[in-house]
Structure 1
Amino acid sequence: MMNNETNKQVETFEKNFFDWLLSKPSSTEILAVEESQKAIEGENMEAKIRMYEEWEELDPLDSEEIDFPDYNESPPMTLGELPTVYNRFESLLQKRLKAEIEAKPPLFPWEEAGYNTYYPDVETQDWVSQISLWASQMKNIRWRNLSIPLTDSVFAQILQSCQEIVQSDLLPGSRLVKAVDNLFPGQSQSLNNLAGFVLAGPSRNPEVLSDPVITYNSATPNQQMLLSLMAAEEILSSLTLTCHLNQSVVKRQWETAVGWINIEAEYSIPEDRSSASLRIKGQLPVGATLKLQGREAQTTAQRSDAGSLWLELFAPQPDQKYELTIKLLNWDEPLKFAVCLQDL
């Protein structure tokens, strides 16, 4: 009998409870709930303000560890406030990581600790302007009948260095090292040793190239130095026109982003003249300016469209180097050749 009575009480309670849930609250109940909610929200807002003031006093960049505020001193937070804390913590963590990355940038896989990762903005601009015009020539740089795998930026740096030293009187080995030493600071001795292999010619097979090199970035440091030296030798050779008196015409070709440049140089004494002359012919893909200059003389020619340009310098000084500059219209970076005259 007691079990039946208890069951009836439970059933009655459940029925009354569900009827109460389904019924509409009275205006008095609604007002009481609103007043209670406002009071809770006010307390929560004061807690949030205190919590933010404590967080703002923290600067994660001033210490190695982030000290969290003591939550025992402020009212407990409700579950709904956790996302706010997470967002604040994430913001502080991002600032800390950004500061650490800027102070010590991560290395690429091919870089080593202590690798010089500083690239001046001025040099970068120079590389970009040169790459856009002269990068097409890179695939024509060969050694031992194999193309030399370089990156655009490495090619641009070597080309710039070669143009600066092509007029110099340095010994061949010193010229090669000078052309690439800015790529490998502090490696002068290794560069000097490897330059010997390059100057010995294709008959010598350097041990550092015993393993095939597919890309420049995947090569070992010694392989990168050797590839750069070989590229420098080929570039210097392409930028140098050695003309012997009354001998065959010297020719050079350079591929650019706008087409091929063909250069011919001839040093001779014409039959109807008593003095020698140096004649330069340029076949150009676009309008350009040609300038030939030495210590005491210079001559210039230009045209506004594609075609041929001629330069002639009378009575040039024997055994002297002349600078031939080619500047294509609408391009800032010129290409500079050394024209070397030899009477014998």
Structure 2
Amino acid sequence: MNKDAEAINQFLAWLQEPDPAVTRPSGKNSSPVSDLEESGAVDLQVHTIDPLDSEVEALQSLPFESSAVFIEDTSSLELGELPAVQDRFHALIKRRLRAEIEQNPPLFPWETSLWDYETEQSAVADSLSAPLWTTQLQALNLPVPVPQAVLLQIFAECRNVIQSSLREGAKLVRIVESLFPDQSQALNEMAGLVLTASPSRSGATIPASALPESYEVANPTQQMLFSLLAARQMLDAMTLEVSLDCPQAERQWLTAAGTLSLVAEYEPASASLSVKGQLPCAGQLSLRGTTQQALAVCAEAGALKVELGNVHPDQTCALEVELDAADQSALVFTVRLTEEV
């Protein structure tokens, strides 16, 4: 420490000494111009060099402990009329401290090593936003595989129109029209063909020899057909239809948490409509009619039942299923009671 202080004192004393290179000659006949000419080439940058610049490299080469000692020593120096030197040294010290902190960031008391908290938060956010309801889309029976992005768009539109009062053909057109703008007439004609096909055989309505290799290479008409078939299968999976002749309907929906099973049943004698659900995890069922609503909640995987009374034919109820496996909106099913199937 004494050695460092002595070196700094010598340096400050040197700064106060007159520069012999700029001292006026004592001879009467001496000329500064002639002296410069006789001395040959002159280094014009001598007076522009800041002596403290050399201290930057010396200071950066010191370990962090030496820098701390240096801070303590400079506080006891008598700098006299040299405030600029003091400010410069303070700037060098701050630069050194900043470099040390950037190279060796400090840790919180509970940390033993550096943590990338932003990455960790992103991973948590990704896990929460993982698709909960879209697992079912992989089970669709389609002639050719349809890209996931297309299926997701169709599924989103299905959720928008599932509770609407549109006829089935109009629903199908509404679902896929964003994929085929300005093609309303062709979509309406194609939707009529799709509705006449049996849902269980929708994947076999086209001969294998006429199928394209993939959805991407299919022509626009084929893409319309594949999209409408996917939309119809999604709507069918989201609809439970019961009647006086067929009072029970079942549906299963594959989720990221497991299989969701639903059974809707109508009792003509009591005019009651009930839905039993087997949930793969904690969640709730909500059955909503025109003027009434029933709700059931479970804290873990298990069976739930909701029931409404005074339900008559040609009435439609909304069944909402919420699962606690992820922070996502409920999946809405339609329970439709008709005179006959």
Give the TM-score normalised by the residue count of structure 2. 0.57
Kindly indicate whether residue 152 of structure 2 is the aligned counterpart of residue 156 of structure 1.
yes
What amino acid is the match of 1:336?
Answer: V
User: Which of 166, 188, 193 in structure 2 is aligned with 1:192?
Assistant: 188
CA deviation vs aligned residue, 1:313-332 (integer Å, no higher than 9, x gap): 11213210000010111332
Q: Unpaired segments of 5 or more residues in structure 1?
A: 1-30, 39-127
Which residue does the alignment assign to 2:320? 325
SS at match of 2:312: coil
Shift of the 158–131 alpha-carbon distance from structure 1 to 2, 3 Å rule, reads farther
Which residue does the alignment assign to 2:226? 227
Supply the distance in 2 between the matched residues of 1:226 and 1:236 (Cα, whole angstroms): 15
Matched-pair contact (CA < 8 Å) for 2:176–2:227: yes
Supply the distance in 1 between the matched residues of 2:315 and 2:193 (Cα, whole angstroms): 29
Which residue does the alignment assign to 1:284? 279
Which residue does the alignment assign to 1:115? none
Matched-pair contact (CA < 8 Å) for 2:243–2:313: no
Shift of the 34–325 alpha-carbon distance from structure 1 to 2, 3 Å rule, reads farther
CA deviation vs aligned residue, 1:11-56 (integer Å, no higher than 9, x gap): xxxxxxxxxxxxxxxxxxxx97885999xxxxxxxxxxxxxxxxxx
**CA RMSD after TM alignment:** 3.1
Which residue does the alignment assign to 1:21? none
Alpha-carbon shift at residue 245 of structure 1 (Å): 2.4
SS at match of 1:142: coil
Supply the distance in 2 between the matched residues of 1:229 and 1:284 (Cα, whole angstroms): 29
Runs ≥4 residues deviating over 4 A:
31-38, 128-131, 202-209
Shift of the 279–246 alpha-carbon distance from structure 1 to 2, 3 Å rule, reads farther
What amino acid is the match of 1:152?
Answer: Q
What amino acid is the match of 2:237?
Answer: S
Supply the distance in 1 between the matched residues of 2:225 and 2:158 (Cα, whole angstroms): 16
Shift of the 162–131 alpha-carbon distance from structure 1 to 2, 3 Å rule, reads farther
Q: Which has the higher relative contact order, 1 or 2, with Cα contacts under 8 A spaced 6 or more apart?
A: 2
SS at match of 1:185: coil
Which residue does the alignment assign to 2:213? 213
Supply the distance in 2 between the matched residues of 1:156 and 1:130 (Cα, whole angstroms): 14
Matched-pair contact (CA < 8 Å) for 1:135–1:152: no
Matched-pair contact (CA < 8 Å) for 1:293–1:323: yes
What amino acid is the match of 1:342?
Answer: T
CA deviation vs aligned residue, 1:55-105 (integer Å, no higher than 9, x gap): xxxxxxxxxxxxxxxxxxxxxxxxxxxxxxxxxxxxxxxxxxxxxxxxxxx
Which residue does the alignment assign to 2:265? 266
State how many pairs are aligned.
Answer: 218
Supply the distance in 1 between the matched residues of 2:313 and 2:298 (Cα, whole angstroms): 29
Alpha-carbon shift at residue 233 of structure 1 (Å): 0.7
Alpha-carbon shift at residue 287 of structure 1 (Å): 0.7
Matched-pair contact (CA < 8 Å) for 2:273–2:307: yes
Give the TM-score normalised by the residue count of structure 1. 0.56
Q: Unpaired segments of 5 or more residues in structure 2?
A: 1-38, 47-126
Percent identity, aligned pairs only, is 38
